[in-house]
Each structure stands twice: as structure tokens, then as C-alpha cells.
Amino acid sequence: MTSPKRAGPGARSALPEPLRVFDPVNDWKCTTCGTGEGLLFLEGQSALCLACADLDHLVFLPRGDAALSRRARVHSRLCAVVLRFSRARKQYERQGLLVEPQALERAEAECEADEGARALRRERDEVRRAGEDKALILDMTAALLRLFPACPPHDAASLAGHTAVRGSGRVGRSAAGRALDDEALTLAAVAWIRHRRTDYDDLLMSGMDRADARERIRGAVDRVLEAWRAAGGTAS
Ligand SMILES: [Zn+2]
């Protein structure tokens, strides 16, 4: 993943092509010093070890972390891609990069800072959502009490809390529930009353069909709604 700021194709093409260094599959010998260890660099027809090619101060960064690789390349004045021939796929494959150690350090620091910023943002979002939830529950409780003046406040709060739970798919999370629409609130109240004030759940547990169970408790639900609507027990 690249950071958004550097994701543009323009920024990408602005990076110079890295040198190419090979992780040799066969035995080889450095043209200059005669060793045959490690990676090799091709200078014309000559194979050079990294020391003789003046690349031995670079550090290897394995491929796999695109953001880190990208940043390390940006910060490294000298950079080489490490290629290894795959006999199975008959092609050279990138193993990673050789970059300056300070470039890698800087790239790592930037990625960590990004990670920290992301974590911080996540945390802030969670706090904000929790606050929204609380505000939504308070608003919904107030709206319920307007709609059902005789509803015991703690029942209204329970209903609002139950209905507003994020991600629950209950009416409280729907657009209408957020807008505190009377019909949505009534539906939420009916659902709550069913479970809390009738034997609906027991009927379901006994194997009764959901429609039949709802029919059976309809009267009980209506009585609770009626009682809640009557302000102070008198008709308003
Ligand atoms: Zn050499």
C-alpha cells in the first residue's frame, strides 16, 4: 500500500529506475577481486561483487511492504533492485531492494508515524461514535417520552438503548429511527414490548409460528402502548 499522498502515477514515475543487482543461481567470481560471495552487479560484461561495485554499504529490504519500499526508494540516493532467476517460471523475480541504511531508517520512521496517526484517528472515531450513540439514545428517549408521555422513563431509556445499538439492524439505526420518526419509534416500542412485556419469547421457544405468536400477543402490546400514550393516566 502506498500512502495517499504518493499514490499518484506522476509521483511514481518521478522515481529514478533502481540499479539491478542479481542474486546468482550459479557459481560466479568477481572480475576484480575473485570472490564469489553474495550478490553480483553487472558492469558491462563484468560481474562484480557489491564491495567492488561500491554498493556494499547498502542494506537489503525484502519485498512485501510496498509503503516501506516506496519510501526507502524515495529517500535513498543509491538504490538497487535485487533480482533472482526463477527456473520454474523462467524469469527474473524481484527479491527486494538495496537501499541506504539511513533511508531505510527514515522510511521506517515515516511508516510508524503513519501507523500511529492511523491508530489515533481510529481511537478518535471510536470516541466520537460512542458520543453519537449516547446522544442518539438521549434524543430517542426524549422523543419516546413525547410520543408516550406515560411510559416510565427507565423503560423509555431501555427501549432507546436497545434500539440504538450500532450495527444491530434494529429500527433505531435506520434513517427513520435516526430522524426519530413517530412510526419508527412506535415500531421499536412494539418490538421492545413484545420481548419485555409479553410472553412472546416463550411462545417462540415453544415452537409457535412467529405470525401466530404475534397475533396472540397483539392485544397485550396494544394495552401497553395505550397505557404509555395516556399522559398521567388521563386522556390528553
Ligand atoms: Zn569484488
C-alpha 56 to ligand 1 mean position (Å): 10
Q: How do strand 59-62 and strand 91-99 relate by DSSP bridges?
A: antiparallel
CA–CA separation, 65 vs 77, rounded Å? 20
- Nearest of 125, 182, 70 to residue 190 by alpha carbon: 182
C-alpha 41 to ligand 1 mean position (Å): 10
C-alpha 132 to ligand 1 mean position (Å): 66
CA–CA separation, 228 vs 147, rounded Å? 8
C-alpha 151 to ligand 1 mean position (Å): 88
C-alpha 51 to ligand 1 mean position (Å): 6
C-alpha 21 to ligand 1 mean position (Å): 14
C-alpha 30 to ligand 1 mean position (Å): 5
Query: Mind listing the pLDDT tens digit for each residue in 21-50?
Result: 999 988 999 999 998 889 999 988 899 999
What is the distance between the terminal CA atoms of the chain, rounded to a whole angstrom?
Answer: 63
C-alpha 29 to ligand 1 mean position (Å): 8
* φ/ψ (deg, to 5) at 216: -60, -35
C-alpha 157 to ligand 1 mean position (Å): 78
CA–CA separation, 13 vs 74, rounded Å? 11
C-alpha 102 to ligand 1 mean position (Å): 24
Question: How many Cβ atoms are within 10 Å of 177's Cβ, its own excluded?
Answer: 21
What is the torsional sign of CA 72, 77, 78, 83?
positive
C-alpha 57 to ligand 1 mean position (Å): 14
Q: What is the pLDDT of residue 62?
A: 94
Tens of pLDDT, residue by residue, the chain (236 residues)? 444 444 444 445 578 889 999 999 889 999 999 988 899 999 888 999 998 888 889 999 999 999 999 999 999 989 999 999 999 999 999 999 999 999 999 999 999 999 888 888 888 888 888 887 888 888 889 999 999 999 999 999 988 888 776 544 555 556 655 667 888 889 889 989 998 899 998 888 888 888 899 999 999 999 999 999 986 544 43
Question: How many Cβ atoms are within 10 Å of 224's Cβ, its own excluded?
Answer: 20
Residue type (1 letter), 128? R
C-alpha 15 to ligand 1 mean position (Å): 29
**Residue 81 · residue 21 · CB < 8 Å:** yes
CB proximity list for 72: less than 8 A, separation 6 or greater: 61, 79, 97, 99, 103, 104, 106, 107
C-alpha 4 to ligand 1 mean position (Å): 41
C-alpha 12 to ligand 1 mean position (Å): 33
The domain ranges of the chain are 4-99, 133-233
- Nearest of 146, 137, 40, 152 to residue 98 by alpha carbon: 40
C-alpha 53 to ligand 1 mean position (Å): 7
**Residue 114 · residue 3 · CB < 8 Å:** yes
Q: Read off the C-alpha cell for 126.
A: 471510536
Whole-prediction pTM: 0.52
Query: Mind listing the pLDDT tens digit for each residue in 109-132?
Result: 999 999 888 888 888 888 888 887
